[in-house]
Amino acid sequence: MKKIIWALFAVIVFMLLITSLGSALFTGKFELTVYHNGEIMLKKVYKIKTSTVMNVLFKYGGNYYKFYQKNSSDAKVRDLSCLNDEINGDLQRIIDRTEEPVIERKLLWSAEKAEFNFVEGKNGLKVEKQKLIENIYKEISYKTTIALPTKEIEQSITMEELKKRTYQRSVFSTCYSTSKANRKHNIELATKKLNGAVVPAKSQLSFNKIVGPRTIQNGFKSAGIISGGAFVQGVGGGVCQVSTTLYNAWIRAGLDVINAVNHSLPVSYVGPSLDAMVSSKNDLLLFNNTEHDVYIKAHTQNGRIYFTIYGYYTPERTVIRNKIIKILPCNEYDILNIPLDWKENETFRILASPRNGLVSCAYKDVYIGNKLIKTEKLRTNTYSPQRGKMVKRTIKEEDEELDTRYINPSFGFFNKGALFGVG
């Protein structure tokens, strides 16, 4: 009798267990429905492997989630192949259909227009596959319905960060309105070639490489230049004012300089130790010492050259100053032997007065707000004295005779021309 009672008890317990576990365990099958945003992505019936059904039933009391927790290190448990060999592939296909890649915001620089454009990106969507698998083990029953777990993937670059890369670090301009036509042409041509230039992080800019050789073939014309300590004519005259303007904008942006050479004589458009002469042998080399690109806008307007430097935001403000250390006096002349149209009684003519030379230096003061945090000497330069240019008149003997009055002891003073009946 006791055996019959225990048998009935076992049957009742078994039936209660089957009822509590659901028919998935009893039948070894379950229907899986996965949806996303109201759309059914997957609906399919899977037969669970018998070995797994028995393992879950007798070792884990029919609890698939406990089975998962205890065996999650097993690859076949992690990819659901312990249940059915098709589930993982089916899930991966709906994951591939659902996931969206991140499209990052972009900063675009138009070299032609020298302006910035911002392109708004799009956040990505990622399916949390491991969470999906875990939820299947949690919810498994004859009809299992799962929402596809996803998370939004933010773009790595914010619009605020992009705008920090377009900070106007400096503007500098010089005047060329009184220049002659050829010099104006050269200035405007060189400026146009530099407009829109980009200097990548930790890279250098070569003025000569961008502007190219100053030749007739490259579009330049003959104008005044400084050569050998004198003002002479040369192809590309005026280009040094462009390099000088760029140099001054660059150092005021707090950026580094590899090579800048002064003229042999001071120039009128900037103070001493602030010029940057370029030639076929001397290049202006600038260095972007920041971690981001630097952008150059260059244009001419109303007889002025403008350079604007954009780069990553900095709270620092750079002030440039120069100082004359010593004057190198000069009052000497070079005597030239050239033909001139002399005026009456003119015995000499000064073509150019002597100009004193000088020694100067330039400094960089760095401020945050109104507080000076650093002073740095940029350079020291010597500008040669310039001898004056003079032409002396040479009077020929026949000219002296014509200009001398004839003296006759008997008749007094007579003009020699009148004596001989001239005029």
Q: Which pLDDT value is given to residue 227?
A: 61
* Residues found in the chain: 423
Q: Are 11 and 46 in contact (CB under 8 A)?
A: no
Taking CA atoms, 213 is separated from 209, 276, 288, in Å, by 8, 17, 24
Q: Which pLDDT value is given to residue 263?
A: 92
Q: Which pLDDT value is given to residue 137?
A: 96
Q: Which pLDDT value is given to residue 222?
A: 84
Q: Which pLDDT value is given to residue 233?
A: 72
User: Which neighbouring-strand residues pair with 360?
Assistant: 324, 381
Q: How many angstroms separate the CA atoms of 384 and 229, rounded?
A: 7
- Give the pLDDT confidence of 225-235 residue by residue, as tens digits: 666 555 667 78
Q: Which pLDDT value is given to residue 24?
A: 56
Q: How many angstroms separate the CA atoms of 118 and 270, rounded?
A: 36
**At residue 322, what is the residue type?**
N
Taking CA atoms, 77 is separated from 112, 144, 395, in Å, by 59, 18, 116
Q: Which pLDDT value is given to residue 147?
A: 96
Task: Provide long-range contacts, Cβ within 8 A and 24+ apart, for 128-135.
Answer: 129/91, 129/95, 130/78, 132/34, 132/91, 133/78, 133/79, 133/80, 133/91, 134/68
Q: Are 244 and 173 in contact (CB under 8 A)?
A: no
Q: Are 76 and 84 in contact (CB under 8 A)?
A: no
**At residue 63, what is the residue type?**
N
Number of C-alpha atoms within 13 angstroms, CB side, residue 50?
0
Q: Are 78 and 133 in contact (CB under 8 A)?
A: yes
Q: Which pLDDT value is given to residue 319?
A: 98
Angle at the Cα of 126 from the Cα atoms of 123 and 132, rounded to 5 degrees: 155
SS3 state of residue 219: coil
Structural tokens at position 303: 């007889």
Structural tokens at position 254: 């707090």
Residues of the chain below pLDDT 70:
1-27, 225-232, 396-423
Residues with Cβ within 8 Å of 135's Cβ and at least 6 positions away in sequence, in order, are 146, 149
Residues with Cβ within 8 Å of 13's Cβ and at least 6 positions away in sequence, in order, are none
Q: How many angstroms separate the CA atoms of 322 and 202, rounded?
A: 28
